[in-house]
Amino acid sequence: MSESQDRSAASTADSNNIAVQQQTKHAGAAVKAALAANIGVAIAKLCAAVFTGSSAMLSESVHSIADCSNEIVLMIGGRFSKHRTDGDHPFGLYRAKYLASFVVATLLFFVGGFFSTSEAVKKIVAVVADPALRDANRIELVAALVVVAVSACLEGYGLHSSVKEANERMARTRTPHMGVFRFWRRTKSAELASVIMEDTLALIGLAFAGAGIGLAIVLDDELWDAIGGLMVGLVLIAGSLLLAFKSGSLLLGETVDRVTRDEIVAAVTSTPGVNRLLNMQTIHMSEDDILLCLKVETSKLDRDYDVETVDKIERAVRGALPWYRFEIYVEPDIFRPEAHRGASARA
């Protein structure tokens, strides 16, 4: 590669980096928007639960309090992941975000769901045992239904913010546009995965709560309100299991998606001096930090030439995917058909 080509590549990389910085200025906005919405929603639901005695409203207030705690934990995890590390963590503290997401799933979500479910079951048992408790206070339940409607609007705004940030991330990383569910399955962002799950569960929970309260008003039977609260608790528990599976997978370590992998392969194999890409292993340390290990066959079995080629590979990869931060390790090697077939079989 000539000096003029190197300068051109560096200029292109700088331009890409500037564009990435401009596109990421709103990163984390989904968590902040969700926290702001959930604080207001939690206060409204808690007040409604106290004044109406609605089991569905109590479950929903616990749900929103858990959501607020979730966002705070995620923000702490995000801030902690940026701290400088000592020798005990040679690759940094990036995975603090994944750990925070796992804590959210296993503790806050599950505990909130268990509490909501147990309280709803207690009310169902009490109402079934004493038919006199079935009479509903329709005025109070109507007020609770209004709170549900307002909460649904606020939670809908939170989900809209999450989807907007997801679309911005797909555009920034040149990921083919996909639906929210497929994005949730494939994203490496613990924050977005958690917030999208929270907002989706909140809307589903509100639908069950609204249905329970509405049936209690129409049928003049508090049992339906308790059933609505039970469904909210079960939704929380189901969501905690799904989020635990997702965040646990990220915490264990996931490879890059197929599109990113193809771009890395193209950048490496097109680098002058590289005859063949023998092996490649990747792992996400965070949504934007990737550990990349390569084994390549170079054109010459010469130490100085190999060092120069390795430098070119690193520049090529970083220039092709400037929105990621790479920790790159390259090992020059000789192609051995038998070993290569064995590695392919194991993969």
175-223 pLDDT, tens digit per residue, is 888 888 888 988 898 888 888 888 888 899 889 989 998 998 888 888 8
CB of 257 within 8 A of CB of 186?
A: yes
Query: If pLDDT is split at 50, 70 and 90, which confidence band does 1 have?
Result: very low
pLDDT of residue 190: 83
Let me know whether 266 and 247 are in one domain: no
Name the amino acid, one letter, at 80.
F
For the chain, how big is the Rg over CA atoms in Å? 26
Residue 3 lies inside a defined structural domain of this protein: no
Contacts of 325 (CB under 8 A, 6+ apart): 288, 289, 290
Contacts of 66 (CB under 8 A, 6+ apart): 108, 109, 111, 112, 236
**Residue ending a domain, choose from 252, 287, 318:** 252
Spatial separation of the C-alpha atoms in residues 33 and 148, rounded to whole Å? 19
Residue 66 lies inside a defined structural domain of this protein: yes
pLDDT of residue 85: 66
pLDDT of residue 174: 82
Spatial separation of the C-alpha atoms in residues 133 and 122, rounded to whole Å? 13
Residue 120 lies inside a defined structural domain of this protein: yes
> How does pLDDT run across 96-114, given as a tens digit for each residue?
888 888 887 777 677 778 8
> How does pLDDT run across 241-274, given as a tens digit for each residue?
888 899 889 888 899 989 899 999 999 999 998 8
Let me know whether 157 and 213 are in one domain: yes
Let me know whether 137 and 21 are in one domain: yes
pLDDT of residue 32: 72
Residue 6 lies inside a defined structural domain of this protein: no
Tell me which residue of 100, 108, 83, 347 sits closest to 248, measured CA to CA: 100
Spatial separation of the C-alpha atoms in residues 203 and 63, rounded to whole Å? 11
pLDDT of residue 326: 93
**Residue ending a domain, choose from 225, 252, 279:** 252
In a 10 Å sphere around its CB, with 0-12 CB exposed, 13-18 middle and 19+ buried, how is residue 64 labelled?
buried
Let me know whether 248 and 273 are in one domain: no
Residue 221 lies inside a defined structural domain of this protein: yes
Return the residue matching tokens 């890395």: 264
Let me know whether 222 and 78 are in one domain: yes
Mean pLDDT (the chain) is 80
Let me know whether 126 and 222 are in one domain: yes
> How does pLDDT run across 20-49, given as a tens digit for each residue?
444 444 455 667 777 777 787 788 888 888
pLDDT of residue 255: 92
Name the amino acid, one letter, at 102.
F
Name the amino acid, one letter, at 267.
A
Q: What is the pTM of this model?
A: 0.76
Let me know whether 269 and 208 are in one domain: no
Let me know whether 240 and 280 are in one domain: no
CATH of the domain at 262: 3.30.70.1350
CATH of the domain at 147: 1.20.1510
Residue 4 lies inside a defined structural domain of this protein: no
> How does pLDDT run across 313-343, given as a tens digit for each residue?
999 999 999 999 999 999 888 877 765 555 5
Residue 287 clears pLDDT 50, i.e. is over it: yes
Residue 268 lies inside a defined structural domain of this protein: yes
Q: Give residue 270's domain range.
A: 257-346
pLDDT of residue 308: 87
Let me know whether 300 and 227 are in one domain: no
Let me know whether 178 and 326 are in one domain: no
Reading the block at residue 308, the tokens are 């120069």
Let me know whether 261 and 299 are in one domain: yes
Let me know whether 212 and 332 are in one domain: no
CA angle 73, 75, 79 (to 5 degrees): 115
Return the residue matching tokens 């929970």: 205
289-298 and 325-332: which strand pairing? parallel
**Residue ending a domain, choose from 252, 275, 299:** 252
Spatial separation of the C-alpha atoms in residues 259 and 15, rounded to whole Å? 22
Query: If pLDDT is split at 50, 70 and 90, which confidence band does 291 have?
Result: very high
Q: How many domains does the chain have?
A: 2
